[in-house]
Chain A
């Protein structure tokens, strides 16, 4: 699983992750409050210029934005048809600017920095006794560790269907996948506790 982070040493890379997230929140609020298509187009261009300044290639920008293009265009067209061309353009530039600014934060912040921010943000919840802040990082690590294993388990179950001449069906694939995966939880939990990972201070 490749992160969407891009290595670099720009001003954005060096800013603390919390500051970038706060800035993104403020920017998105501003973008929603202003209805001027020209201003929003400028914002979208600024977001695009940010990618160019980070030396992200055009193909890479396209790869990052592709999942949003269809959604943004369809919503803008819908708005244009029902509420007029002006509002359609406003919607298009606003949604494009939002996606581009968010993508800038993602590209310049490492997974580790984000986990740090989340752990710190979870500290007040820990004081309330709701959760352990350190568990956040542990759980994220566990998910990343086990996705490839689950995928290969999925392939084994699918191949077992073929070997028996059965057509793979959703229920007959998913049930053994869930049961075999969750049965390993006891061993993993025992391994975590044996290493004292959750009791460290």
Chain B
């Protein structure tokens, strides 16, 4: 791995950590806070692509695991990997991998700006919402013994916010691609 790729991944991990310092919004009756950090996960995919994006998300999770309060709300330590919502954290890895892979597959420099934005949105929505929720809900359902339908109902309220984040990630991904293109191109 080139040093530049390693540095890009580390810098993006730092961006994801910084986004977690924006205070999370709790929706009261559901045990998952809404944060800008999951937006950071989608952004890592659309900006850096699958490989470097995944490394940056893994770095954030490693930092959390070794006891640094890098997750939103100052959470960190091994306890975050022993909670009912751990599936969403593990899901970040698959979310960024999917988002990055789809971005590389769908978006190219020769497309019109609007087409690029729509393709980035599809990538962020599929990876950052669908894949993420499949991981999070499955884990919640299996570990707590709640069952899939109840775990799904409990997570439903967060989906609109995450779709909005996919829109932001798409607009930002396209703007970064114009300003400083880093996304690996399909050959």
Total of A-B residue pairs, C-beta within 8 Å: 195
Bound Cα distance A150, B63 (Å): 17
The answer to whether the Cβ of A138 comes within 8 Å of any Cβ in the partner chain is: yes
Q: Are B14 and A193 in contact (CB under 8 A)?
A: no
Q: Are B68 and A103 in contact (CB under 8 A)?
A: no
The answer to whether the Cβ of B95 comes within 8 Å of any Cβ in the partner chain is: no
Within A142-201, which residues are at the interface with B (CB < 8 Å)?
Answer: 142-144, 146-147, 149-151, 154, 170-171, 174-175, 177-179, 181-186, 188-189, 192-193, 198
Q: Are B168 and A174 in contact (CB under 8 A)?
A: yes
Which of B4, B10, B21 is in CB contact (< 8 Å) with A143?
Answer: B10
Taking CB atoms, residues of chain B closer than 8 Å to A78 are: 144, 146, 150, 154
Nearest chain A CB to B145 CB, angstrom units:
7
Q: Are B10 and A178 in contact (CB under 8 A)?
A: no
A67-B75, A106-B79, A182-B11 are contacts. A114–B66 as well, Cβ < 8 Å?
A: yes
Q: Are B176 and A114 in contact (CB under 8 A)?
A: no
Q: Are B79 and A171 in contact (CB under 8 A)?
A: no
A3-B68, A114-B65, A177-B15 are contacts. A106–B144 as well, Cβ < 8 Å?
A: no
Count residues of chain B with CB under 8 A from any CB of chain A: 66
Nearest chain A CB to B78 CB, angstrom units:
4
Give the segment of A8-16, A38-46, A52-60, A68-76 that binds chain B: A68-76
Q: Are B17 and A143 in contact (CB under 8 A)?
A: yes
Taking CB atoms, residues of chain A closer than 8 Å to B18 are: 147, 150-151, 154
Bound Cα distance A137, B68 (Å): 14
Bound Cα distance A154, B80 (Å): 27
Per DSSP, are chain A's interface residues mostly helix, strand or loop, or mixed?
A: helix
Nearest chain A CB to B72 CB, angstrom units:
9
Q: Are A184 and B11 in contact (CB under 8 A)?
A: yes
Nearest chain B CB to A10 CB, angstrom units:
16
Q: Are B15 and A150 in contact (CB under 8 A)?
A: yes
Q: Which of A72, A144, A147 has the most chain B CB atoms inside 10 A of its CB?
A: A147
Q: Are B11 and A181 in contact (CB under 8 A)?
A: yes
Q: Are A186 and B4 in contact (CB under 8 A)?
A: yes
Within A124-151, which residues are at the interface with B (CB < 8 Å)?
Answer: 131-132, 135-136, 138-140, 142-144, 146-147, 149-151
Bound Cα distance A198, B7 (Å): 12
Q: Are A139 and B30 in contact (CB under 8 A)?
A: no
Taking CB atoms, residues of chain B closer than 8 Å to A188 are: 7, 11
Q: Are A105 and B146 in contact (CB under 8 A)?
A: no
Which of A64, A91, A144, A177 is in CB contact (< 8 Å) with B68?
Answer: A144
Taking CB atoms, residues of chain A closer than 8 Å to B11 are: 142, 146, 150, 181-182, 184-185, 188
The answer to whether the Cβ of B59 comes within 8 Å of any Cβ in the partner chain is: yes
The answer to whether the Cβ of A118 comes within 8 Å of any Cβ in the partner chain is: yes
Bound Cα distance A46, B43 (Å): 42
Bound Cα distance A181, B9 (Å): 11
Q: Are A103 and B78 in contact (CB under 8 A)?
A: yes
Give per-residue flags for B112-130: 1 if the beta carbon is below 8 A from chain A beta carbons, else 0: 0000000000000000000
Taking CB atoms, residues of chain B closer than 8 Å to A151 are: 18, 21
Nearest chain B CB to A184 CB, angstrom units:
7
Within B63-79, which residues are at the interface with A (CB < 8 Å)?
Answer: 63, 65-70, 73-79
8 A-B contact pairs sorted by A residue (CB < 8 Å): A82-B146, A91-B144, A138-B6, A139-B6, A140-B66, A146-B14, A151-B21, A171-B172
B-binding residues in A (CB < 8 A): 1-5, 24, 28, 32, 64-65, 67-68, 70-72, 74-75, 78-79, 82-83, 87, 91, 95, 98-103, 105-107, 109, 111, 114-115, 118, 131-132, 135-136, 138-140, 142-144, 146-147, 149-151, 154, 170-171, 174-175, 177-179, 181-186, 188-189, 192-193, 198
